[in-house]
């Protein structure tokens, strides 16, 4: 009896252990399946995030490509505009030099008149004060004219030198040359042009803050210069580049109003139309 009871107990314990083992195995399989499912969810989530990041990067790349195209287009506009203005100035400079050469002969041809007057006066009574005083005045005037002519020639040479440096695309050196010119010849007939081209050297190199200040000087120091519309146009361009839409519109409208029919006014109208298309 005791033996059979022991056998029954042993069998019961064995069965219980077997059931417990089966339950533990099921739990392990369930845990394993749950772990695999969690891993898959993480992978899918990471993949979605990577795809979102790729879309964002692709969008940023497209924006940068668009901005680069705009910069290249504006750079081409700058160089075309600069080349056109330099060519126009070169033609005007050549005409001015030929005219200066013609007027430069006039004093030489006319200088014979004072000489002949002084010679005829020498035939009058010796010691007469009027002819002698008149001769001294004429000599003083001639000396003053010669000095002014030399100063004008020196200014023209210095200005042309700076302009040639600008034509060669040496913008830093050109800026230094124009600054030196304005310091040495502040009241020259070329001063307004020199001030404008000084500002242009900074504009082409996209030093907009410096260019803006120098273009403003054209308006304040040379308000009657023919360079005022061009300077005002560039002030509008600079404010456009700096996204100061109100200031840009004000400057461009001023060009259209104050210089109607000019090339600068046409360019100002083009830029105003562009701003309207862009929603500015």
Q: What is the pLDDT of residues 142-188, one digit of tens each?
A: 445 555 567 788 899 999 999 999 999 999 999 999 999 999 999 99
Residue of higher predicted confidence among 252 and 152: 252
170 part of a folded domain: yes
Q: Are 234 and 211 in contact (CB under 8 A)?
A: yes
- The residue whose two tokens read 């009574």 is 125
pLDDT confidence tier of residue 206, bands split at 50, 70 and 90 = very high
pTM above 0.75, yes or no: no
* Confidence at residue 205, expressed as pLDDT on a 0 to 100 scale: 94
Arithmetic mean of pLDDT, 254-277: 96
- The residue whose two tokens read 């040496």 is 170
48 part of a folded domain: no
Count of the separate structural domains present in the chain: 2
Q: Alpha-carbon distance 275 to 250, whole Å?
A: 12
101 part of a folded domain: no
Q: Are 272 and 253 in contact (CB under 8 A)?
A: yes
Phi, psi values for residue 217, rounded to 5° = -65, -30
97 part of a folded domain: no
DSSP assignment string, 58-103: HHHHHHHHHHHHHHHHHHHHHHHHHHHHHHHHHHHHHHHHHHHHHH
129 part of a folded domain: no
Q: Which domain holds residue 263?
A: 226-280
């Amino acid at each position: 009896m005791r033996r059979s009871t022991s056998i029954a107990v042993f069998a019961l314990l064995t069965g219980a252990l077997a059931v417990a083992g089966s339950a533990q195995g099921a739990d392990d399989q369930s845990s394993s399946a749950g772990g695999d499912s969690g891993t898959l969810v993480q992978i899918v989530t990471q993949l979605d995030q990577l795809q979102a990041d790729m879309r964002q990067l692709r969008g940023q790349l497209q924006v940068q490509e668009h901005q680069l195209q705009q910069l290249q287009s504006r750079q081409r506009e700058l160089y075309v505009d600069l080349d056109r203005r330099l060519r126009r100035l070169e033609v005007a400079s050549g005409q001015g030099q030929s005219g200066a050469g013609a007027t430069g002969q006039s004093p030489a041809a006319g200088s014979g008149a004072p000489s002949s007057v002084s010679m005829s006066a020498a035939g009058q009574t010796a010691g007469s004060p009027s002819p002698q005083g008149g001769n001294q005045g004429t000599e003083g005037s001639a000396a003053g004219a010669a000095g002014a002519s030399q100063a004008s020639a020196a200014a023209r040479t210095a200005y042309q030198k700076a302009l040639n440096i600008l034509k060669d695309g040496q913008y830093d050196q050109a800026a230094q040359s124009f600054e030196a010119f304005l310091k040495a010849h502040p009241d020259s007939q070329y001063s307004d042009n020199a001030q404008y081209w000084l500002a242009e050297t900074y504009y082409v190199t996209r030093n907009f803050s410096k260019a803006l200040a120098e273009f403003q000087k054209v308006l304040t120091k040379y308000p009657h210069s023919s360079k005022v519309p061009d300077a005002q146009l560039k002030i509008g361009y600079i404010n456009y580049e700096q996204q100061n839409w109100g200031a840009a519109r004000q400057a461009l409208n001023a060009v259209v109003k104050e210089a109607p029919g000019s090339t600068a006014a046409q360019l100002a109208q083009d830029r105003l139309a562009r701003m309207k298309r862009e929603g500015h």
